[in-house]
């Protein structure tokens, strides 16, 4: 059968070994939800190690082609994987070049299989000094910002953003997160009072501390607004007259997160469409969350609502409704199948279902979370497997 030469096989293998998508069968399978790879999703081979998972996938896809376009499955996979990785990451360009080289060689029938059919992937072990960057999560960090009060009277006061982040802080610390929490119950002179400069400085400081195998969770509970096509977070000292200068661009938050060494990044936003008394956006900006979602490639992002909806606060629950159910989800209620850990997808599913029930109970108000988890598989946010819970 057609195969790939040793040099190209080894180059591809070494890059794939550094990709977090190969940490589990489940992570790998998420990539095959893409339309171009869906024909092979149900027959994807399972493996019990990173080494096996990479080798089995290469062997499984190298001879397969789509029946309609005749494109090679391995080329499609490598190309898609490169697109899921941020362009600033060296692996993006490496995979892009490898996809082109694979396509050329396979189409010209000029390469041979480097791994005989009767050879097990375990016969070709990973060198002990191979720089595999992704391992099980070492440390969990959280950066929380809650803003109820705004200097500019054009931005109405919110009721429960601070209680949201204080409750999240307590919950996450109990789950072994190290938490940095900024909110406006702190004094103006406190370095964690949520001014734009303080938020940026504290986020940069935290991003400089995290390590490659850590998880970084960032959560904002505040107003949000779209300005000149870009989503902005409204913080304590944001002024409507100088919005572009004093608002906090969501893109800057993402850039700071990406500048960290952490390879697992989760961003949650309880800031979106405005309600008359309890909503969390300013004016009629239906594109805020739409843009936040579209611009979140490479992130696991969960936002409080869709572009056409409002992020509600509940006077009965004394929380933002999204954050209330997020807290329940983190407490273990989102654990599907009693697996004793909670993932991003678990959170999304639990909060979505809970908000649907809440909307029926509250006169048909609709609020649905949106999420983007491309490029990261299904990140574990809470792990109870080694606890007594």
pLDDT digits (tens, 9 = 90+) for 327-381: 999 999 998 877 888 888 888 888 888 877 877 777 655 555 566 665 545 678 8
What is the number of other CB atoms lying within 10 angstroms of the CB of residue 99? 22
Say whether both 200 and 267 belong to one domain.
yes
Domain, as residue range, for 259: 140-374
Say whether both 195 and 76 belong to one domain.
no
In a domain, 198, yes or no: yes
User: Which residue has 């909307």 as its token pair?
Assistant: 359
Say whether both 266 and 193 belong to one domain.
yes
Any alpha helices (H) in 17-160, and if so which ranges? 25-31, 50-61, 73-84, 90-107
In a domain, 120, yes or no: no
**Number of domains making up the chain:** 2
In a domain, 127, yes or no: no
In a domain, 358, yes or no: yes
Length of the chain in terms of residues written: 389
Domain endpoint, select from 114, 130, 161: 114
Q: What is the pLDDT of residue 218?
A: 96
Q: What is the pLDDT of residue 364?
A: 58
Q: What is the pLDDT of residue 317?
A: 55
Q: Are 233 and 161 in contact (CB under 8 A)?
A: no
Helix, strand, coil tally for the chain in percent (to 5): 40, 15, 45
Q: What is the pLDDT of residue 67?
A: 87
pLDDT (tens digit per residue) in 157-192: 888 899 999 999 999 999 999 999 999 999 888 999
Q: What is the pLDDT of residue 270?
A: 84
Domain endpoint, select from 49, 80, 114: 114
Say whether both 88 and 168 belong to one domain.
no
Say whether both 148 and 24 belong to one domain.
no
Intervals of the chain under pLDDT 70: 1-3, 108-135, 272-299, 304-319, 363-378, 386-389
In a domain, 149, yes or no: yes
Say whether both 311 and 184 belong to one domain.
yes
Q: What is the pLDDT of residue 229?
A: 78
Q: What is the pLDDT of residue 126?
A: 37
Say whether both 238 and 346 belong to one domain.
yes
Q: What is the pLDDT of residue 274?
A: 29
Q: What is the pLDDT of residue 136?
A: 75
In a domain, 132, yes or no: no
CATH of the domain at 362: 3.40.50.1460
In a domain, 379, yes or no: no
Say whether both 110 and 190 belong to one domain.
no
In a domain, 121, yes or no: no
200-206, Cβ contacts within 8 angstroms, sequence gap of 24 or more: 200/248, 200/252, 200/256, 202/143, 203/143, 203/253, 203/256, 203/257, 204/256, 204/259, 206/141, 206/143, 206/180, 206/260
Say whether both 96 and 161 belong to one domain.
no
Q: What is the pLDDT of residue 125?
A: 40
Say whether both 99 and 215 belong to one domain.
no
Say whether both 193 and 48 belong to one domain.
no
Residue-wise over 151-189: b if at least 16 C-beta within 10 A, else e?
Answer: ebeebbebbbbbbbbebbbebbeebebebbbbbbeeeee
Say whether both 247 and 107 belong to one domain.
no
């Amino acid at each position: 059968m057609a195969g790939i030469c040793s040099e190209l096989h080894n180059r591809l293998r070494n890059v794939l070994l550094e990709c977090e998508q190969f940490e589990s069968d489940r992570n790998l399978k998420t990539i095959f939800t893409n339309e171009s790879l869906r024909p092979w999703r149900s027959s994807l081979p399972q493996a019990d190690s990173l080494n096996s998972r990479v080798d089995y996938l290469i062997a499984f896809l190298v001879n397969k082609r789509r029946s309609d376009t005749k494109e090679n499955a391995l080329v499609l996979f490598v190309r898609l994987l490169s697109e899921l990785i941020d362009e600033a990451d060296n692996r993006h360009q490496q995979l892009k070049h490898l996809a082109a080289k694979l396509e050329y060689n396979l189409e010209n029938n000029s390469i041979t299989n480097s791994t005989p059919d009767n050879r097990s992937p375990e016969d070709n072990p990973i060198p002990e000094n191979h720089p595999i960057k992704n391992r099980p999560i070492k440390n969990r960090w959280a950066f929380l910002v809650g803003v109820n009060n705004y200097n500019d009277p054009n931005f109405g006061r919110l009721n429960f953003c601070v209680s949201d982040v204080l409750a999240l802080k307590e919950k996450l610390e109990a789950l072994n997160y190290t938490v940095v929490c900024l909110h406006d119950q702190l004094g103006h002179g406190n370095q964690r009072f949520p001014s734009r400069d303080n938020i940026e400085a504290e986020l940069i400081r935290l991003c400089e501390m995290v390590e490659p195998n850590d998880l970084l969770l960032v959560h904002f509970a505040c107003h949000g607004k779209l300005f000149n096509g870009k989503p902005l977070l409204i913080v304590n000292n944001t002024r409507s007259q100088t919005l572009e200068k004093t608002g906090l661009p969501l893109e800057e938050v993402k850039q700071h997160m990406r500048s960290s060494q952490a390879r697992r990044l989760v961003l949650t936003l309880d800031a979106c469409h405005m309600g008359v008394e309890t909503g969390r956006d300013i004016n009629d900006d239906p594109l805020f969350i739409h843009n936040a979602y579209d611009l979140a490639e490479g992130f696991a992002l969960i936002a409080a609502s869709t572009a056409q909806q409002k992020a509600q606060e509940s006077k009965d629950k004394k929380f933002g409704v999204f954050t209330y159910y997020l807290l329940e989800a983190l407490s273990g209620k989102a654990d599907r199948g009693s697996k004793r850990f909670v993932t991003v997808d678990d959170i999304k599913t639990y909060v979505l279902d809970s908000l649907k029930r809440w909307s029926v109970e509250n006169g048909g108000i609709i609020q649905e979370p949106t999420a983007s988890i491309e490029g990261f598989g299904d990140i574990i946010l809470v792990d109870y497997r080694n606890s007594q819970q």
